[in-house]
Structure 1
């Protein structure tokens, strides 16, 4: 351990306000201390996020106190000192403690603080910031990460996630923050019931139709269960069956390997329940209820839709009722079908970088209004006027409404997907993930690909577009009107992974088109695995 690291460790230990964290550090080996003090947590795709552990690159009380002091300093430097701030938290380990600590730091810095009365969905905080005109919001959450993680998500005016230079300004302020045990804190009384009630009423209001639907629901051990039931009831859906083993918040997520509805097996209990009760639709929320996955019955049995499939359906449904200037948005790693759907409805499609911090800004500078945005990772923003972030609960209400609307026309969700394929071509999407030992390994693989990019993929000639310096990603495209491929390769923003997002489009009749698309997709995936 270098003298610099040794000094940093001693300084941290002498000012850690949490005796348990200080004891944890005292028991670490020199190698582990060097790793924990190599660099602090930084703002990524969705804020600070990391393992619950002591030291500057973990989530702990000292990090939360210093980060909050930094956010308060940046707000004050921008002339927003004394403004309103909203603080919420999910049901993960230590989230309530961290949320209260953040609220108390803001209060001591002179801000008017709303500290949520209980663990709440992340979109409820985004809604409250936007609806009350607050200067900022903080949600303590690690979303769908493993149980040993937590995080710190920041919203600024309008309920938008922060982007550069704000994230870098906060990081610089953290570096100059006082020692954690010297940061003042003032008591805060919890509140926010009115804002959460308004959020649920607004989420329910996205419904357009009337009529019943039988719904199977899981909040996947997170905070969304009771709130989703309330929103669905306000929308007129009262025939809801829940996965009892996953309904109560549990930070250990005991029934799933990963608390992410996208993960294989995570929605098995939900789909079994849906089949048992003969449901019309199955809804899986992630632990902080900002993402929503949809399951539907098919002739071959129940299956979960991909995030892209849900995005196509909801985008088409929203645009079918829009007469004004409308913008829809998806990310560079999502399917391109939404662009075709938008063109068919006379709307504008915007492609953004990965993450809702960019999607939420898709209509900036345009003479049109964002009405829908999605990312393939089951994030959907169906009411941007109210929540400029992904919102699993309002998306769930709209998805249930779509099922009722389709039934009124004698159609099903698989029918609707077939209709979209006939109009816009068969689109299939998949992903290939290469786990690596460190982010540096992923960066090295990107450097190698840039130096010698392939010129064909699965026999299809491709060209490559490098998205640097906007973001670290390569986009390979090729093909013609009959069949085309698209592969986007980028390092993960939250984990040591290299991720490849594959889309194949084939024209023609459905059955042969799907067969061709499936075969081409398999070949493309095999090629990507071979050179990543």
Structure 2
């Protein structure tokens, strides 16, 4: 083992406050596992706009107590440089139900209070949107939530909100990262939590804080449509996360009382014993909540992910095609794009004339922008990630055009401006209210989708990661040097190169794009189709997002148009992949 690695390990062992990770590290030393030790100490877990996320374990490349303490010291240092009154405004800290989350949250509080920064610490587990809410509720300088969201059980994370209640964006991420690097070379000072409570530098957030969020949802301007909530029935799962208690409460407040929670997944459990992967998008993750829905014959089967910032729903089939007897009693998952468009359409139908600003991302369906245009509303398109959706929403809104709604295809939705991040709890209420209103007219979710698709076309979206050979040339550079004139037989009408901030039209003229630089190429094709390519600069791999649009004929059903669109999509993807360099 080289001398530098030995020094790093020795220094880590001297500072690690956790006997478990010390023992783990000592085990690797005793086994003389230089490969693993070299990896654990090859750098630091990277802090970015999503904060930290990684496997729990010993060493600076893992999530552990020392990494959390150093990260908190770096964050505190950066906040002191950036925010004049950070000491009194304070930082809100919450945590999910994973095994180490409470300890990590308490460590963060102990470090920040030792730096003279006031802390608001949740007294028990809290959904991620409650922490985002807490930042603006208290006027805090920042927020921290310890969560790995829907990652596997071996993961944990550390997510940071800025004082505006939204996730951090550049340059704060790199600024905080630089301060963390400095803090990692210094001794970490911590304050005993009992002492901080006694001197009022730490406030424990008890039931009244959770009640404040609840009342915020209950009184939200755009969640006041209480049309026949008694007609809605739904099954619900918290997926071993922290959402159940608040989800059931806000639904009850909205008059939705036919709610059947999956008992085996209701309570927080960091082992996630009944799901292979606690992400509602994963195959099999919704099996138990759909089984519960079938048992009670509910209209909906709903889920939050483990930190309750995402929302997923399956809808009972069969009602939209009376001939399809075999489908009755079965449930179909809606895509994130379908939920986003349904919520956007519903909210625009009811919103005040001064609240018409919506946002979506470049890789989400283009359908929301068309729906918004039909309501004479605004739809802004941002880079991928809720940090962009909400920061753009904040910066773009005016008194005459307030923010209403934003979504991304990965099951993230924010309804109104109470929470400037995705919120699976208020989205659940909004979707239940939409379902109730439709039911009061003898209609279903499928009827509303049919209505939207008939007006704007059936939009089908797909995402594909393509692994390429190591010797394949840089895909981004190749596509920029050899711009395609057509893709899968469809003429390229417009090309957006987000890295250069330019939009190229078929006739050769250009215009600028008001988005931060990112290695993304977007091709708008004839017939409304779209291809988005995100190359990897470090490995022979690209991620592609596809959209096809099919007009619905008078004789079409949702089933027939989807089958036709899927056939087009399959050929589209195949032809595009064949066109890429090998």
Instruction: Please state if 1:291 is matched with 2:310.
Output: yes
Q: 2:342 aligns with which of 313, 318, 321?
A: 313
Q: 1:30 aligns with which of 10, 27, 34?
A: 34
- Cα offset for 1:15? 1.6
* Counterpart Cα distance in 1 of 2:479 and 2:264: 45
3-state SS of 2:126 partner: coil
The aligned counterpart of 2:321 is: none
* Counterpart Cα distance in 2 of 1:247 and 1:14: 40
3-state SS of 2:280 partner: coil
- Cα offset for 1:19? 2.6
Q: 2:80 aligns with which of 76, 88, 92?
A: 76
**Cα offsets for 1:308-366 (capped at 9, x unmatched):** 00000000111111211521000111000000011111111100111111100223145
* Counterpart Cα distance in 1 of 2:482 and 2:13: 47
- Cα offset for 1:232? 1.1
The aligned counterpart of 2:289 is: 270
* Counterpart Cα distance in 1 of 2:409 and 2:188: 43
Give the TM-score normalised by structure 1. Answer: 0.92
**Cα offsets for 1:242-262 (capped at 9, x unmatched):** 112211111111111210001
3-state SS of 1:99 partner: helix
Instruction: Please state if 1:55 is matched with 2:59.
Output: yes
CA change 1:244–1:444 in 2 (3 A) is farther
The aligned counterpart of 1:374 is: 407
The aligned counterpart of 1:401 is: 433
**Cα offsets for 1:216-257 (capped at 9, x unmatched):** 000111111111111111221121101122111111111112
Q: 1:523 aligns with which of 571, 574, 579?
A: 571
Q: Superposition pairs for residues 157-176 of structure 1, below 5 Å? A: 157-176=163-182
The aligned counterpart of 2:508 is: none
The answer to whether the Cα contact below 8 Å between 1:160 and 1:357 also exists between their aligned partners in 2 is: yes
Gaps of 5+ in 2: 198-203, 319-326, 501-515
The aligned counterpart of 1:477 is: 523
Instruction: Please state if 1:430 is matched with 2:434.
Output: no
The answer to whether the Cα contact below 8 Å between 1:41 and 1:50 also exists between their aligned partners in 2 is: yes
The answer to whether the Cα contact below 8 Å between 1:121 and 1:290 also exists between their aligned partners in 2 is: yes
Higher deviation after alignment, 100-109 or 448-457:
448-457
* Counterpart Cα distance in 1 of 2:461 and 2:337: 8
* Counterpart Cα distance in 1 of 2:575 and 2:34: 42
Alignment length (residue pairs): 526
The answer to whether the Cα contact below 8 Å between 1:210 and 1:236 also exists between their aligned partners in 2 is: no
**Cα offsets for 1:18-39 (capped at 9, x unmatched):** 2322232233322222222222
CA change 1:498–1:186 in 2 (3 A) is farther
Instruction: Please state if 1:488 is matched with 2:532.
Output: yes
The aligned counterpart of 1:7 is: 7
Give the number of the structure whose alpha-carbon radius of gyration is greater.
2
The answer to whether the Cα contact below 8 Å between 2:111 and 2:188 also exists between their aligned partners in 1 is: no
The aligned counterpart of 2:225 is: 208
The aligned counterpart of 2:443 is: 411
The answer to whether the Cα contact below 8 Å between 1:500 and 1:528 also exists between their aligned partners in 2 is: no
CA change 1:116–1:255 in 2 (3 A) is same
The answer to whether the Cα contact below 8 Å between 2:495 and 2:524 also exists between their aligned partners in 1 is: no
* Counterpart Cα distance in 2 of 1:454 and 1:63: 46
3-state SS of 1:182 partner: coil
* Counterpart Cα distance in 2 of 1:443 and 1:379: 35
**Cα offsets for 1:437-489 (capped at 9, x unmatched):** 9xx99996655655656554332233643322635443342433xx3321223
CA change 1:133–1:281 in 2 (3 A) is same
- Cα offset for 1:400? 0.4
* Counterpart Cα distance in 2 of 1:453 and 1:428: 25
- How well do the aligned residues superpose, as a CA RMSD in angstroms? 2.6
The aligned counterpart of 1:391 is: 423
* Counterpart Cα distance in 2 of 1:302 and 1:178: 51
The aligned counterpart of 2:360 is: 330
The answer to whether the Cα contact below 8 Å between 1:88 and 1:115 also exists between their aligned partners in 2 is: yes
The aligned counterpart of 2:245 is: 226
3-state SS of 1:360 partner: helix
CA change 1:87–1:353 in 2 (3 A) is same
Give the TM-score normalised by structure 2. Answer: 0.85
The aligned counterpart of 1:66 is: 70
Instruction: Please state if 1:144 is matched with 2:160.
Output: no
* Counterpart Cα distance in 2 of 1:310 and 1:156: 28
The aligned counterpart of 1:191 is: 205
* Counterpart Cα distance in 2 of 1:379 and 1:298: 23
The answer to whether the Cα contact below 8 Å between 1:126 and 1:388 also exists between their aligned partners in 2 is: yes
Gaps of 5+ in 1: none
3-state SS of 1:185 partner: coil
* Counterpart Cα distance in 1 of 2:550 and 2:207: 50
* Counterpart Cα distance in 2 of 1:327 and 1:149: 36
Q: 1:242 aligns with which of 261, 264, 287?
A: 261
* Counterpart Cα distance in 2 of 1:130 and 1:518: 44
CA change 1:431–1:84 in 2 (3 A) is same
* Counterpart Cα distance in 2 of 1:30 and 1:449: 41
Q: 1:466 aligns with which of 497, 500, 505?
A: 497
The aligned counterpart of 2:134 is: 128
* Counterpart Cα distance in 2 of 1:56 and 1:450: 38
3-state SS of 2:543 partner: strand
CA change 1:138–1:91 in 2 (3 A) is same
3-state SS of 1:402 partner: helix
- Cα offset for 1:514? 3.7
CA change 1:102–1:435 in 2 (3 A) is farther
3-state SS of 2:529 partner: strand
- Cα offset for 1:77? 1.2
* Counterpart Cα distance in 1 of 2:441 and 2:277: 38
The aligned counterpart of 2:506 is: none
**Cα offsets for 1:253-311 (capped at 9, x unmatched):** 11112100011111111112112201122211000000000111111221110000000
